[in-house]
Structure 1
Amino acid sequence: MKFTLDDVRSQTYKARDAWWTVFLVDPLAGRLVLGTANRTSITPNQITWGAFLLGLGSAGCFLTADRTWLIVGAALYHLSFVLDCMDGKIARLKGTGTVLGGWLDYVFDRIRVLTCALALMWGQFQATGQELYLILGIGVVFLDMLRYVDALQIAKVRRQMRRTLKKAYDESTIADPSALPDRLREDPDLDPELDPDLDSDEIRIRTMGVVDLQEEFRSRFAWYIGVREWLRDHRVRTHLISGIEFQMAVFIIGPVLGYIVPVTVGAAALLLVFEVAIMYKLWLSSRDLARALAEIRRTSAQVQATAGN
């Protein structure tokens, strides 16, 4: 079977992704995936290993602290990330993904960031004698791990919120979702395609239209809706400075421009700003959850009272 570029786009591109991936990686990775899938028998795991080795090569270049090699290292890091995106796309396109492959991909990503951060900052420390680079190295590794751990926990909390709502709805006496207040019938931020970990119950809650945990956030930041829709139209997620953009700033933009310290510090500050914004949005969602549960209970009591009469 010969795949087309439309197949690659429709079957492997995420509905929303980091802007660096959408604009600077997917256009190249998609075409490489097409050629690789149609003309070779290369497996996703082999590509994962290739990405990992390129990442180590990038670290070796960073360690020299030489201006030319820093640029070469940045190019290798970007190519490593392109391959890192390719392995998952080929796995989805051919249906050859494995649990081992997913584990390798995650572990190699973390090792790549660790080795490149230590190599880049140690090389700069050796060249300049400035201990600031050692602190930056530790900071880069810490922030990378913080971002990924935080993302997992946030996803876990949001899934628990949805399960809580579903349980409250199932335990209520509301047979017709239209009996619920309008604010509980729709949440445009929820999309099954954006969260592959959703189970069937969570998708069913969505089709019933019972969840809206973003009402307060949207009411406070009305401008956000327009921005979100524009980004969504371009497949870009609203979390503009995530772990991906942070890595690219540190390992590509900084070395290429020759401004490693200011770029790293600036990227770290922006990453933390967006993390705080996510925490704030989650807190507002928890308030929406409490109100939604109260309204479900109140509506259920009204339905019971009406039935009793």
Structure 2
Amino acid sequence: MERQKYTLEEVKSAYKKKDAWWTVLLVDPVASRLVIPTANYTNITPNQLSIFSFILGLSAVYCFYLGDYAALVTGAILYHISFIVDCMDGKIARLKGTGSSFGVLLDISLDHIRVVLCGAALCYSQYRITGDISFLYLAYLFLAVYCARHINALNLFKVRRDMRGKLRKARKKLRKTAIEAGVIVEESEAKPEEDEDNHQDEEESLDQIAAPKEVEEEDDLLQKKKKIDLQQGFKKRFSFYLGIREFFLNRRIRMHLFSGIEFQMFIFVLAPILGFIKETIIFSCAGLLIFEVAILYKIWLSTKDFEREFSRIKEKQMELDALLPEEELENGSTI
């Protein structure tokens, strides 16, 4: 049986809808072209690519541990190649439809181990060579920021999912009550909502666990497909943001401009080559924390939108409950 041949356009169709600027500009153009011969002429699986990427990452760990300039540059190159290979596995999985839950778990786990080992090796080698104890403190800072970023991303995903789930449940119950009460709302009253801006820095692990995509919902009163917009407050306060966001999204670049990917690449690729290891670690940790704080502020505004929307639905629910016979109310029509 002749093997299916994939084209570059088909590979590009397997790109994520939006990604980190480092990936879009410096990784995908190379990874996509490597995917073509890999997918067309080999039986290499995404999991095998994940393991190979991890092996390259361990080679970078060893180079960072050696610590001299030549080893650092070699480690930086190996780390970037490791990341390119790591980006290939997801593309092939989406292209061939061979992705699996275990593959996602394997990829996430190996990514985290690679990052932690590289950070520890880089900081320890510079301490060993220079005797500057501040490199050990920077190692703690690096690990603390990296762990905090992933914990924060997971928690924010849970908050978003919980808010949207409560709204979907409330709207479903409201529609049921409206049908029971015989209430008809004119279609002309419908005002379509905008998509929530999924700044989703949840690349690597959280691109897989937390890229919470907006779920198209049926508007329960208007019986019209619409999406839940929980960023109205943010958009009103920062109206200029939408134009900037559109500019980047047209290029597949997400608005989280200093994400976990840039954090890694600045420390493990740019810093070893440029030689400003201490300064780059401090800058990268500060940059990641600033964007995490911005996300927290944005989600705080989203909770205000959620509370207003949920209160509006609850008020309508109470109005419709008043129209129902008492026996139907006893069956639990209220939110």
Do the structures match in fold with TM over 0.5?
yes
- Report the equivalent of 1:212: 229
Deviation, structure 1 residue 29: 0.4
Deviation, structure 1 residue 187: 2.7
Gap change, CA 1:70 and 1:195, over 3 Å in 2: closer
- Report the equivalent of 2:267: 250
- Report the equivalent of 1:8: 11
Instruction: Say yes or no: does 1:203 pair with 2:206.
Output: no
- Paired with 1:196 and 1:153, the residues of 2 have a C-alpha distance of 11
Gap change, CA 1:144 and 1:180, over 3 Å in 2: farther
Instruction: Say yes or no: does 1:111 pair with 2:118.
Output: no
Aligned counterparts, 1:105-184, within 5 A: 105-172=107-174, 173-174=177-178, 178=187, 182=191
Instruction: Say yes or no: does 1:74 pair with 2:87.
Output: no
With 168-177 and 198-207 compared, the bigger mean Cα shift is at 198-207
- Using the aligned pairs only, state the percent identity: 43
Q: Which has the higher helix share?
A: 1
Gaps of 5+ in 1: none
Output one character per residue of 1:264-286: Cα deviation in whole Å (capped at 9) or x when no partner: 10111010000001001010000
Output one character per residue of 1:126-164: Cα deviation in whole Å (capped at 9) or x when no partner: 111011111111221222222222212211211111111
SS at match of 1:237: coil
User: Higher Cα Rg: structure 1 or 2?
Assistant: 2
Contact 2:104 2:208 in 1 (8 A): no
- Report the equivalent of 1:226: 243
TM-score, scaled relative to structure 2: 0.83
Q: Which amino acid aligns with 2:274?
A: L
- Paired with 2:247 and 2:287, the residues of 1 have a C-alpha distance of 21
- Report the equivalent of 1:60: 62
Return the match for 1:26 from 9, 25, 28: 28
Gap change, CA 1:268 and 1:176, over 3 Å in 2: farther
Q: RMSD of aligned C-alpha atoms?
A: 2.7
- Report the equivalent of 2:201: none
- Report the equivalent of 1:186: 193
Deviation, structure 1 residue 256: 1.0
Q: How many residues align?
A: 304
- Paired with 2:11 and 2:167, the residues of 1 have a C-alpha distance of 36
Deviation, structure 1 residue 196: 7.9
Gap change, CA 1:188 and 1:177, over 3 Å in 2: farther
Aligned counterparts, 1:296-307, within 5 A: 296-301=313-318
Return the match for 2:303 from 278, 286, 304: 286
Gap change, CA 1:164 and 1:55, over 3 Å in 2: same
Q: Which amino acid aligns with 1:234?
A: R
Deviation, structure 1 residue 197: 6.9
Output one character per residue of 1:95-154: Cα deviation in whole Å (capped at 9) or x when no partner: 222222211111110110111011100100011101111111122122222222221221
- Paired with 1:62 and 1:199, the residues of 2 have a C-alpha distance of 35
Gaps of 5+ in 2: 179-183, 199-206, 326-335
- Paired with 1:137 and 1:44, the residues of 2 have a C-alpha distance of 31
Deviation, structure 1 residue 63: 1.1
Output one character per residue of 1:207-264: Cα deviation in whole Å (capped at 9) or x when no partner: 7215121111011111111111111101011111111110111101111110011111
Gap change, CA 1:42 and 1:145, over 3 Å in 2: same
TM-score, scaled relative to structure 1: 0.90
SS at match of 2:24: helix
Gap change, CA 1:123 and 1:4, over 3 Å in 2: same
Gap change, CA 1:22 and 1:176, over 3 Å in 2: farther
Gap change, CA 1:181 and 1:106, over 3 Å in 2: same
Q: Which amino acid aligns with 2:5?
A: K
Gap change, CA 1:268 and 1:50, over 3 Å in 2: same
Deviation, structure 1 residue 198: 8.5
- Paired with 2:71 and 2:186, the residues of 1 have a C-alpha distance of 62
- Paired with 2:137 and 2:209, the residues of 1 have a C-alpha distance of 36
